[in-house]
């Protein structure tokens, strides 16, 4: 029998007063021992999902399960879950030891065991020997580590992290991203991490849930989401993209910029209006003759590793391309891409519709065998 997910949401709805729902029939599964990220713009419902998992608030409808058992009404302190908050929520009048030991004291753990556990947790976050430091004398990054030590010392099954790195400067943030990911691997605890920073999500996660307006837009590995965004929101939110209006002529043939191109997508209606995505780094600058399309260079920015070049095709579409070669403004060039570089998206397709379409065409393939 397949293992039960550690957390499962079944059509969870959350509504405050008579307002529109903050979460709208959200369903997902979290597997044990992986690093998950909830990614989305401000106000999309990320913190609300964490609060529901932690038990700080209750769902308006739908079920929340822990290892297959419904926990909708289980209080927060009865769930094997700890939260690391954005503002750390440390106790300023207690030293590092007492902050980390807090949960153990509540559980009345014996002094010798408590000392050993606090020591181990501090060494996990590279704060060996800091037991007696006052919280007020710690830097932002060190406070962050104390907050993490305070969560892991309780040996929870799940750690929830609500934008824990957003207060740190860029360099420290990168370092902590790396440390958190390493820590999760070493501990094997399930981490559910919240961020609105797509690069952070791509760098850290096993699985990402992209949220917008209280709905999961897409879930998958960083590669799935980056390479195969299923709708405009995801394509636009994750990385720089060219999103161009197109017509799906038939399976494997799409028209845009006044030409027809072979592609790898299928399952749309003939002549359906669609959008295509091509990532700026997937296109190559060529001579006009060798290009898939002809464009005119409009603007160019040097970004350190590459140039970011904005071009316009004959039908008025703007194209962003990354290249290590410099272009000349006003010059006509070709942009070359392959059928695999073109990702066709149905207008406003939801994740459920997308999955259904994929299933339908894998069934077709099976029928053909
Ligand atoms: N207690 C509450 N009463 C009424 N509305 C609330 C309450 N808590 C959250 N909301 C609303 O629910 C929506 C989602 O809030 P949530 O805090 O989950 O967003 P978020 O994705 O974490 O955003 P951010 O990135 O800004 O932290 C927002 O519109 C917010 O105003
Ligand atoms: Mg939030």
* pTM as predicted: 0.89
pLDDT of residue 214: 94
Nearest ligand, CA of residue 45?
A: 1
Q: How far is the CA of 196 from the centre of ligand 2 (A)?
A: 9
Q: How far is the CA of 179 from the centre of ligand 2 (A)?
A: 22
Ligand 1 nearest atom to the CA of residue 16, by list position:
4
Distance in angstroms (rounded) separating the CA atoms of residues 296 and 313:
6
Q: Each residue of 226-274: pLDDT tens digit?
A: 988 999 999 999 988 999 999 999 999 999 999 999 999 999 999 999 9
Nearest ligand, CA of residue 39?
A: 1
Q: How far is the CA of 41 from the centre of ligand 1 (A)?
A: 11
User: What is the chain's mean pLDDT, rounded?
Assistant: 92
How buried is residue 287: exposed, middle or buried, by Cβ count under 10 Å (0-12/13-18/19+)? exposed
Task: List, chain by chain if needed, residues with CB within 6 Å of any ligand 1 atom.
Answer: 16, 22, 40, 42-48, 196
Torsion of CA 325, 327, 331, 333, to 10 degrees: 30
Q: Whose CA is nearest to atom 1 of ligand 1?
A: 16
Q: How far is the CA of 206 from the centre of ligand 2 (A)?
A: 21
Q: How far is the CA of 250 from the centre of ligand 2 (A)?
A: 43
pLDDT of residue 368: 56
Ligand 1 nearest atom to the CA of residue 50, by list position:
18
Q: How far is the CA of 155 from the centre of ligand 1 (A)?
A: 29
Q: Whose CA is nearest to atom 4 of ligand 1?
A: 16
Other C-beta atoms lying within 10 Å of the C-beta of residue 291? 18
pLDDT by position in tens, the chain (length 369): 567 899 999 999 999 988 889 999 999 999 999 999 999 999 999 999 999 999 999 999 999 999 999 999 999 999 999 998 877 889 999 999 999 999 999 889 999 999 999 999 999 888 999 999 999 999 888 998 999 999 999 989 999 999 988 878 888 889 889 989 999 999 899 999 999 999 999 999 999 999 999 999 999 999 999 988 999 999 999 988 999 999 999 999 999 999 999 999 999 999 999 999 999 999 999 999 999 999 999 999 998 889 999 999 999 999 999 999 899 999 999 999 999 999 999 998 888 888 888 787 777 666 655
pLDDT of residue 365: 63
319: left (phi over 0), alpha (psi -120 to 50) or beta: beta
Top mutation candidate among 46, 49, 161, 164 for ligand 1, by most atoms within 8 Å of CB: 46
Could you tell me the domains of the chain?
7-227 (3.40.50.300), 241-279+339-369 (no CATH), 284-336 (2.40.50.140)
pLDDT of residue 97: 96
């Amino acid at each position: 029998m397949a293992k039960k997910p550690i957390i499962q949401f079944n059509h969870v709805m959350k509504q405050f007063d008579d307002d529109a729902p903050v979460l709208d029939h959200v369903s997902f599964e979290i597997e044990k021992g992986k690093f998950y990220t909830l990614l989305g713009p401000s106000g999309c419902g990320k913190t609300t999902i964490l609060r529901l998992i932690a038990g700080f608030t209750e769902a308006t409808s739908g079920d929340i399960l822990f290892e297959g058992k419904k926990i909708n009404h289980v209080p927060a302190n009865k769930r094997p879950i700890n939260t690391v908050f954005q503002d750390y929520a440390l106790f300023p009048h207690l030293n590092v030891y007492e902050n980390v030991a807090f949960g153990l004291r509540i559980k009345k753990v014996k002094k010798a065991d408590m000392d050993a556990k606090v020591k181990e947790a501090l060494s996990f976050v590279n704060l060996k020997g800091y037991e007696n430091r006052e919280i007020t004398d710690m830097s932002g990054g060190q406070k962050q580590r104390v907050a993490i030590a305070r969560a892991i010392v309780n040996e929870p099954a799940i750690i929830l992290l609500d934008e824990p790195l957003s207060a740190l400067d860029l360099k420290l943030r990168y370092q902590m991203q790396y440390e958190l990911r390493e820590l999760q691997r070493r501990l094997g605890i399930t981490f559910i991490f919240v961020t609105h920073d797509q690069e952070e999500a791509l760098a850290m996660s096993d699985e990402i849930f992209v949220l917008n307006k209280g709905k999961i837009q897409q879930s998958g590995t960083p590669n799935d989401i980056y390479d195969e965004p299923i709708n405009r929101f995801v394509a636009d939110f994750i990385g720089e993209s060219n999103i161009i209006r197109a017509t799906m002529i038939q399976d494997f043939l799409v028209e845009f910029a006044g030409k027809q191109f072979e592609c790898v997508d299928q399952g749309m209606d003939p002549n359906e209006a669609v959008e295509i995505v091509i990532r700026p780094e997937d296109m190559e600058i060529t001579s006009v003759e060798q290009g898939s399309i002809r464009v005119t260079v409009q603007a160019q920015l040097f970004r350190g590793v590459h140039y970011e070049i904005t071009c316009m095709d004959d039908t008025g579409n703007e194209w962003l391309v990354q290249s290590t070669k410099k272009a000349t403004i006003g010059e006509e060039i070709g942009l070359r891409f392959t059928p695999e570089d073109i990702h066709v998206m149905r207008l406003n397709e939801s994740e459920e519709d997308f999955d259904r379409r994929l299933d339908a065409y894998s069934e077709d393939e099976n029928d053909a065998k």
